[in-house]
């Protein structure tokens, strides 16, 4: 079918060079958690006049009707008293009016709850910004505090040219936005890119109450902040109370024709009527013939190429249909499960080139499901390629499951799936490249061997105390601040899966080896091959399965024994993970070695230490800094999460509140589930339909309360 590609490429070149058309936008599914900032500029008391004015201002939002332009300026109270409350709300350009008002109402309500005594505060949601103050803020530039997000990709080549063209585009948008009227100060546009990149896209926005000079100065301040917040980043997003801008290498914004129209009489000047020319009769007749013949020829060529392409694609996709043809999902989930996967398909030859034909030198690691290779695409993007082994036990169902789920998810604490490949018997998954390894490489003592290896040192190493073989430099990186950040990031990722995404998703295999760490040690949850999802519209809170899969030691007892899973299944795994992070020990190891049959398992040891009031003894000895109260609070949270009864475990929303608010009183934990006798339950099979376990599995398998 190579001739088909040549014909289609030739035809496409002819058409594209002669017929201009706008670039298509990718769907901007990027979301982030609300970022609350309680500005430290004084507090008020609960019964003060300002408190009453602020409450009335927030309450008044519920009675407002939506406005065009996405900007709200409000106040409440008498300015002469000095206790007047002022507020401003601003939405992104593409947000519809009703959605904008709803976002601002939610932001205002939650901001006053998160900052109950602050006289000044600001919050950013994905779609809007809301701020309030005890002083006049309308028409006044405010550049503090700031919020920035990075795409996670760094410039790999032509950096000087990249940054020059980036500055040119942002400066052009700055001028257009600052010159906007009193209703909207916004600009969006694109420009040519440096070699190795497709095209640059950007947007700039100010609150429309600012003067042209203040808007200009605010955006300049943001541009000058790029080196300190986002140096070398390909994509970035920066915000402050008075302005914001965004820069990407893909079109994230909507065209004006796709947006909700502005009120009549407020749009730009109409397009002037097209000019006409008078021509001679003979010349005009020739033009008519050309105007008729050329479209007919183009349509005929297009039809021929379309038929050839469809036939070629049909042959090429046979393997893909065999794998992705049947759906494991149901209901409204199944209706659109394939909608986001077509664009993720990656050519096998491109992956071979990117990984140097899967060279052993590019191998990052090897696990039960296959090998992972580092690769670099031709445009410089680094990737990680998971090449599944045909004998791994991870079949087409798990492969499909991971594709369909990660295609729908986008969160900074979830690993990003860039693509997949089905080529004959080959099954490959393409992820973003994460600079650091998985969490278990840092918190546990691990010796790496590149196959072929001598197994004797590995056997000997298991008899040595883990601290003697651990990479000391890596362990020293994990001070309490880093570990606490890891715990918080995992909480945010699970909260997104359980409550904030379109579907309620149960991971079912949360463990240290499935937590990847980026260059700044931010955690990213990976490996969704065993994940299950619920439609958020359903009232069902748990399900049963006869196919129990996962890792012993992390599995909740109701799942390991009865096959019942819910969000509380992930909560149990999270609790085990928290205790591992703090103790630096594997959950199947406790204080003894793997060869010691009388060794106390980790949960038993921590629970006994908690009951005997010697809990400080379980803390990783390498944790020499950090608040002991914060560490003990996290152990307390971990014990709440591993309670034997699923009903008594907190939700991830409650865990987030416990972790972020020391004023929240923690309940007393009950006894966790313990691993007991080596008796395999009847409903857990060792066949391919039974338990699939990793190298971290525990051989004992019956869990029951002690």
Residue 217 CA to residue 628 CA, distance in Å, equals 45
CA dist list (Å): 5 to 253, 305, 309, 311: 32, 9, 8, 12
386 annotated ligand-binding residue:
yes
Where is 300: in which H helix or E strand? Answer: helix 281-316
The β-bridge relationship of strands 426-432 and 417-423 is antiparallel
Per-position b or e across 198-235, b if 16+ CB within 10 A of its CB: eebbbbbbbbbbbeeebbbbbbbbbbeebeeebeebbb
Q: Using CA atoms in the order 77, 82, 85, 88, what is the torsion angle rounded to 10 degrees?
A: 120
Q: Label residue 343 exposed, middle or buried (CB < 10 Å: 0-12, 13-18, 19+).
A: exposed
With contact defined as beta carbons under 8 Å apart, do 230 and 282 qualify?
Answer: no
Angular region, 378: left φ>0, alpha ψ -120 to 50, beta rest: alpha
**Nearest alpha-carbon partner for 621 in 360, 445, 399:** 445
C-alpha radius of gyration, the chain, whole number: 29
- Three-state secondary structure of 551-587: CCCCCCHHHHHHCEEEHHHHHHHHHHHHHHHHHCCCC
Where is 491: in which H helix or E strand? Answer: helix 480-495
Residue 697's Cβ-side half-sphere holds a number of Cα atoms within 13 Å equal to: 16
With contact defined as beta carbons under 8 Å apart, do 50 and 134 qualify?
Answer: yes
With contact defined as beta carbons under 8 Å apart, do 508 and 532 qualify?
Answer: yes
Q: Is 509 a catalytic residue?
A: yes
**Nearest alpha-carbon partner for 50 in 88, 2, 4, 86:** 86
**Nearest alpha-carbon partner for 259 in 33, 25, 102:** 25
**Nearest alpha-carbon partner for 516 in 390, 657, 386, 360:** 386
The residues, any chain, with a CB within 8 Å of residue 345's CB and separated by 6 or more, are: 320, 419, 420, 421, 422
Residue 333 CA to residue 535 CA, distance in Å, equals 6
The residues, any chain, with a CB within 8 Å of residue 622's CB and separated by 6 or more, are: 475, 476, 478, 584
Catalytic residue among 209, 509, 570, 697: 509
Structure tokens at 535: 């439609």
Residue 410 CA to residue 496 CA, distance in Å, equals 9
Residue 200 CA to residue 158 CA, distance in Å, equals 14
Structure tokens at 690: 């039974």
Residue 643 CA to residue 631 CA, distance in Å, equals 19
Q: Which residues face 98 on adjacent strands?
A: none
Question: What residues form the annotated binding site for ATP?
Answer: 386
Question: What residues form the annotated binding site?
Answer: 386
Report, as residue numbers or ranges, the catalytic residues: 509
């Amino acid at each position: 079918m190579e001739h088909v590609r040549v014909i289609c490429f030739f035809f496409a070149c002819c058409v594209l060079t002669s017929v201009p058309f706008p670039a298509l936008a990718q769907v901007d599914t990027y979301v982030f958690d609300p970022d609350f900032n309680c500005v430290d500029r004084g507090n008020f008391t609960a019964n003060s006049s300002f408190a009453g004015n602020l409450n009335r201002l927030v309450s008044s939002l519920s009675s407002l009707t939506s406005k065009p332009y996405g900007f709200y300026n409000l106040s409440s109270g008498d300015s002469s008293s000095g206790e007047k409350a002022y507020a401003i709300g601003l939405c992104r350009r593409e947000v519809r009016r009703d959605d904008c008002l709803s976002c601002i109402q939610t932001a205002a309500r939650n901001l006053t709850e998160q900052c109950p005594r602050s006289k000044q505060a600001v919050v950013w949601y994905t779609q809007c910004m809301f701020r309030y103050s005890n002083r006049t803020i309308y028409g006044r530039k405010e550049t503090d505090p700031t919020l920035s997000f990075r795409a996670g990709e760094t410039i790999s080549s032509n950096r000087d040219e990249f940054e020059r063209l980036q500055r040119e585009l942002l400066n052009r948008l700055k001028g257009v936005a600052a010159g906007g009227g009193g209703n909207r100060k916004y600009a969006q546009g694109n420009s040519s890119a440096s070699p190795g990149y497709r095209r640059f896209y950007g947007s700039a926005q100010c609150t429309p109450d600012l003067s042209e000079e203040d808007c200009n100065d605010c955006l300049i301040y943001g541009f000058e902040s790029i080196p300190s917040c986002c140096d070398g980043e390909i994509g970035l997003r920066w915000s402050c109370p008075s302005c914001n801008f965004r820069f990407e290498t893909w079109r994230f914004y909507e065209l004006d024709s796709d947006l909700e129209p502005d009120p009549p009489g407020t749009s730009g000047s109409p397009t002037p009527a097209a000019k006409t020319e008078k021509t001679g009769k003979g010349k005009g007749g020739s033009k008519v013939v050309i105007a008729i013949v050329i479209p007919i020829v183009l349509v005929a060529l297009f039809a021929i190429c379309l038929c050839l392409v469809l036939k070629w694609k049909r042959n090429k996709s046979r393997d893909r249909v065999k794998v992705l043809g049947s759906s494991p999902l149901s209901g409204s989930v199944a209706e659109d499960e394939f909608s986001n996967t077509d664009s993720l398909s990656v050519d096998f030859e491109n992956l071979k080139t990117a990984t140097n034909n899967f060279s052993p030198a590019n191998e990052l690691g090897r696990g039960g499901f296959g090998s992972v290779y580092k690769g670099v695409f031709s445009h410089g993007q680094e990737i990680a390629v998971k090449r599944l082994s045909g004998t791994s036990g991870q079949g087409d169902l798990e492969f499909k499951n991971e594709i369909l789920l990660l295609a729908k998810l986008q969160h900074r604490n979830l690993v990003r799936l860039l693509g997949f490949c089905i080529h004959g018997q080959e099954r490959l998954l393409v992820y973003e490249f994460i600079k650091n390894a998985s969490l278990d490489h840092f918190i546990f003592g691990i010796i790496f061997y590149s196959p072929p290896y001598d197994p004797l040192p590995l056997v000997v190493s298991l008899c040595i105390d883990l601290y003697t073989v651990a990479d000391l430099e890596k362990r020293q990186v994990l001070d309490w601040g880093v570990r606490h950040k890891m715990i918080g990031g995992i909480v945010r990722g699970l909260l997104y899966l359980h409550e904030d995404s379109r579907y309620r998703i149960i991971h079912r295999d949360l463990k240290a080896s499935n937590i990847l760490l980026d260059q700044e040690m931010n955690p990213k949850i990976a490996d969704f091959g065993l994940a299950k999802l619920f439609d958020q519209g359903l009232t069902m809170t748990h399900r049963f399965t006869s196919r129990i899969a996962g890792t012993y030691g992390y599995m909740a007892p109701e799942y390991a024994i009865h096959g019942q899973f819910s969000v509380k299944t992930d909560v149990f795994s999270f609790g085990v993970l928290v205790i591992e992070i703090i103790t630096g020990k594997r959950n199947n190891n406790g204080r003894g070695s793997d060869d010691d049959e009388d060794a106390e398992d980790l949960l038993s040891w921590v629970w006994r230490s908690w009951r005997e009031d010697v809990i400080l003894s379980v803390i990783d000895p390498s944790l020499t800094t950090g608040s002991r109260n914060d560490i003990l609070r996290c152990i307390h949270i971990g014990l709440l999460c591993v309670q034997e009864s699923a009903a008594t475990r907190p939700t991830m929303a409650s865990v987030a509140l416990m972790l972020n608010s020391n004023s929240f009183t923690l309940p007393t934990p009950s006894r966790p589930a313990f691993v007991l006798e080596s008796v395999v339950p009847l409903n857990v099979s060792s066949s391919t339909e039974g338990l699939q376990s990793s190298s971290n599995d525990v051989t004992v398998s019956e869990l029951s309360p002690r």
